[in-house]
Amino acid sequence: MDEEKFNSSVKYLFILSQIFCLTPISPFIKNYNQHENLKVKCLYFAWSVFWILLMSVIGFYITYVLRGMAKEGPLKMITGIIYIALFLSNVIFLINNIVKRNNFPKIMNTFWKVDNTLMPRCGVRVYEKEKLCSIKHITVVCLLYIALNVSLCCALGSTSIYSITFNFTANLPFLVNGIMSIHFNTLVKKLKKRLKIINDILESYTKATHSTKWKTPRKIINFLEDSSEESVNRQPGEIQLIQSVYIDLYNTKELINSTYGITIVFEILTCYSLSVTAVIGGIDAATETIDVLVIIFNTFLLAYVFLMLAWILLKCDQVFDESKKIISNVLKLMVGNDISQDVKCDLNIFLSMMRDMPLQFTPCGLFTLNLPFLCSTVGVICTYVVVMIQIN
């Protein structure tokens, strides 16, 4: 087989692998144990063998990419690693959805429990009025994905249907990672909303007013009819109730962390590598070839990956800030003159518990997702770009 046919076959296998990984495979695994028919089980077994063979082909493709890219320089080598990271991130995201698919009902049930605990007088369940995926956010991600591929086709001068189809299909992991970011950020937003309610309750205890209001997706709820400082003394169980809610939210954070941890690691690795490639490619196009289309493509690529990373880190940082506000409100209550000693003891226990159980997202325990991490990532990217320019 000559080199041209070999490259063409590898491209088709790559397209097939991406389409196959995007196929919803959870029904096959879910129904495997539900059928006693031997013929059906053999069908599922054949499908599993096909999956293993396909993974072997992908392993061959990875080896081929690394071998070919290594001969053309370190920048091409990084490009090959990027696509491998994208593919692995795509596969791991789908496997996570299969293996940990029971986590999503647990998370939503915890939100339901928290809502019923915090809002017994109105009976409103906030999460029932919310969707896991916002159509607006999905539309934005799809438009960014289309703009990225259009700029890529223009930069490469792709005019044939085959080239355009290959570019859109090969970059499907970008779309998958974007949807993953929407799932993750939506759950983080729900978590922040419950923390905001706790802050509203604690702030109401430190004010002279006798009602606290906040907005839900549909209407304004009057949560506490009597929320003065004296109400804390009359109902000391309120502090234990808030403690139990905080523990539920912390366990929810751990579920979200375990569900998306590995995928977030690959997402950050991919964002880091693509940012370096986009910056170096843009600099080369601006200084050597003066190709405007290549500059536009690298600009779209850099903006896409940076916005996805910044979006995730910003939402996680907002949750941590909201939890710090809870600590601040508890400290304000502890210095109040009208608070009984028993309530102060409960507040002290709650304060120590929050310090031991911070609401920080740490995927796989490697790093903390917050804005300082974003700043350090930008610094590392800038340093690595300078090193790569010197090497080239």
Alpha carbon distances (Å) from 126 to 82, 136, 302, 330: 40, 19, 36, 25
Residue 349 in any domain: the answer is yes
Q: Domain check: are 170 and 271 in the same one?
A: yes
**What pLDDT, on a 0 to 100 scale, did the predictor assign at position 366?**
78
Residue 90 in any domain: the answer is no
Q: Domain check: are 190 and 261 in the same one?
A: yes
**What pLDDT, on a 0 to 100 scale, did the predictor assign at position 127?**
47
Burial tier of 36 (Cβ tally within 10 Å: 0-12, 13-18, 19+): exposed
> Mean pLDDT across the stretch 257-263?
78
Q: Select from 250, 257, 251, 252 the least CA-distant residue to 355.
A: 250
β-sheet bridge partners, residue 220:
215
**What pLDDT, on a 0 to 100 scale, did the predictor assign at position 299?**
77
Q: Domain check: are 64 and 183 in the same one?
A: no
Q: Domain check: are 199 and 66 in the same one?
A: no
Residue 79 in any domain: the answer is no
> Mean pLDDT across the stretch 30-45?
58
User: Do residues 167 and 155 touch, judged by C-beta distance below 8 A?
Assistant: no
Q: Domain check: are 176 and 248 in the same one?
A: yes
Q: Domain check: are 66 and 106 in the same one?
A: no
Which of the listed residues 74, 94, 110 is the one where a domain comes to its end?
Answer: 74
**What pLDDT, on a 0 to 100 scale, did the predictor assign at position 234?**
43
Sorted by sequence, the CB contacts under 8 Å of residue 85 that are 6+ apart come out as 266, 269, 270, 273
Residue with tokens 């998370």: 107
Q: Domain check: are 186 and 272 in the same one?
A: yes
Q: Domain check: are 70 and 183 in the same one?
A: no
Angle separating helix axes 161-170 and 172-205, nearest 10 degrees = 40
The overall average pLDDT reported for the chain is 67
The band of 369, judged by pLDDT with boundaries at 50, 70 and 90, is confident
Residue 95 in any domain: the answer is no
Bigger pLDDT: 301 or 362? 362
Residue 315 in any domain: the answer is yes
Burial tier of 317 (Cβ tally within 10 Å: 0-12, 13-18, 19+): buried
**What pLDDT, on a 0 to 100 scale, did the predictor assign at position 262?**
75
Residue 86 in any domain: the answer is no
Q: Domain check: are 43 and 163 in the same one?
A: no
> Mean pLDDT across the stretch 315-343?
79
Secondary structure in 3-state letters for the chain:
CCHHHHHHHHHHHHHHHHHHHCCCCHHHHHHHCCCCCHHHHHHHHHHHHHHHHHHHHHHHHHHHHHHHHHHCCHHHHHHHHHHHHHHHHHHHHHHHHHHCCCHHHHHHHHHHHHHHHHCCCCCCCHHHHCCCCCHHHHHHHHHHHHHHHHHHHHHHCCCCHHHHHHHHHHCHHHHHHHHHHHHHHHHHHHHHHHHHHHHHHHHHHCCCCCCCEEECCCCEEECCCCCCHHHHHHCCHHHHHHHHHHHHHHHHHHHHHHHHHHHHHHHHHHHHHHHHHHHHHHHHHHHHHCCHHHHHHHHHHHHHHHHHHHHHHHHHHHHHHHHHHHHHHHHHHHCCCCCCHHHHHHHHHHHHHHHHCCCCCCHHHCCCCCHHHHHHHHHHHHHHHHHHHHHC
Q: Domain check: are 121 and 52 in the same one?
A: no
**What pLDDT, on a 0 to 100 scale, did the predictor assign at position 221?**
34
The band of 196, judged by pLDDT with boundaries at 50, 70 and 90, is confident
Structurally, the chain folds into a number of domains equal to: 2
Q: Domain check: are 245 and 152 in the same one?
A: yes
The b-or-e profile of 48-59 (16+ CB within 10 A means b, else e) is: eeeeeeeeeebe
Q: How far apart are CA 13 and CA 123, in angstroms?
A: 53
**What pLDDT, on a 0 to 100 scale, did the predictor assign at position 59?**
52
Six-digit token pair at 150? 């259009």
The band of 214, judged by pLDDT with boundaries at 50, 70 and 90, is very low
Residue 42 in any domain: the answer is yes
pTM: 0.67
pLDDT at 14 over 70: no
Q: Domain check: are 23 and 139 in the same one?
A: no
Residue 312 in any domain: the answer is yes
Range of the domain at 223: 102-391
pLDDT at 26 over 50: no
**What pLDDT, on a 0 to 100 scale, did the predictor assign at position 129?**
47
Residues 129-152 have pLDDT tens digits of 455 556 777 777 778 777 777 777
Instruction: Report which residue type is found at 166.
Output: F
Q: How far apart are CA 232 and CA 102, in angstroms?
A: 38
Long-range contacts of range 100-106, CB-CB < 8 Å, 24 or more positions apart? 100/258, 100/259, 101/26, 103/255, 103/258, 103/259, 104/132, 104/259, 106/255
Bigger pLDDT: 253 or 77? 253
β-sheet bridge partners, residue 213:
222
> Mean pLDDT across the stretch 35-54?
59
User: Do residues 209 and 310 touch, judged by C-beta distance below 8 A?
Assistant: no
